[in-house]
Structure 1
Amino acid sequence: MLDALLLRGTHSAEMPLMEKITTHVLDTASGKPAVGVRIRLFHDDSPLADFTTNHDGRCDSPLITNPAAGRYQLVFSVGEYFRAQGVDSPFLDEVPIHFTVSPDQSYHIPLLCSPWSYSTYRGS
């Protein structure tokens, strides 16, 4: 029942809404989800989690639930991914994204990348 309430964006006092940080990675050179990208999450420069993207370019679970307020960083190992795709010398190696988390907020931070460029935004 909680999943259904979360999907509708509503919650009750008995079932608190769970804040989280999530991401996904799209390979804009191929037009496909980026499978097998290593993603590391840091809070105030301390490592918190290490994930690898699945067949849909997403992680199988949130990177963190109910994150504390503060400074966070995601590090995407895109050079490793593009070398595995046959790109001999991708321009990008690691893409760091620094962001600030406020209380009672969820964050979805997608990465759109090619061997030569990237873009990100705060999604929903």
Structure 2
Amino acid sequence: MSASTPASVSTHILDTSVGRPARGVAVRLTARGGQDADWQALGGSATDADGRCKDLPALPEGTTHVRLDFAVEAYFEHRENQRADAQQDAPANRDSGAGGVFFPEVTVTFAVAPGEHYHVPLLLNPFGYSVYRGS
């Protein structure tokens, strides 16, 4: 890629509490061209069965910072409802918070350079998360 080619972004989510990809998590992408510039909403997607967003919008030329917003609360609520249906007589999870998830959303902001690809995996569980620059 040449220096004039905008950066590109991809992501995926793994739910480390069950050892599986997190399906159906809404992801929003915003970008800006400089530290003091306003954030521009570019659109979003949702993770597929493999926990990947394969159709995130392209970044505009001149992008220097990117923000990924992961709406994880609905994912955990859906997962808990499925588990409750499967185990109707099981005791409630005493360790969960009022909503069952401590972090209802995760926002990751990072710097980008033209021509580079940035893969940003999210490792997720109801009480914590980790992100890193993948390959």
> Do the two structures share a fold, i.e. TM-score over 0.5?
yes
State the AA in 1 paired with 2:44.
Answer: D
Q: Determine if contact 2:17/2:125 at 8 Å carries over to the other structure.
A: yes
| Structure 2: stretches of 5+ with no match in the other structure | 33-38, 81-95
Moved over 4 A (4+): none
Q: Determine if contact 1:21/1:67 at 8 Å carries over to the other structure.
A: no
Of 45, 51, 55 in structure 2, the residue corresponding to residue 51 of structure 1 is 45
Structure 2: distance between partners of 1:60 and 1:69 = 20
Shift of 1:67: 5.5
| Structure 1: stretches of 5+ with no match in the other structure | 1-10
> Aligned residues: percent identity?
37
Greater relative contact order, per chain length (Cα 8 Å cut-off, separation 6+): 2
Structure 1: distance between partners of 2:124 and 2:61 = 26
TM-score (structure 1 length as normaliser): 0.79
**Matched position secondary structure for 1:74:** strand
Q: CA RMSD in A?
A: 2.2
Query: 1:31 maps to which residue?
Result: 19
TM-score (structure 2 length as normaliser): 0.73
Return closer, same or farther for 1:106/1:28 CA change in 2, 3 Å cut-off: same
Structure 1: distance between partners of 2:6 and 2:65 = 19
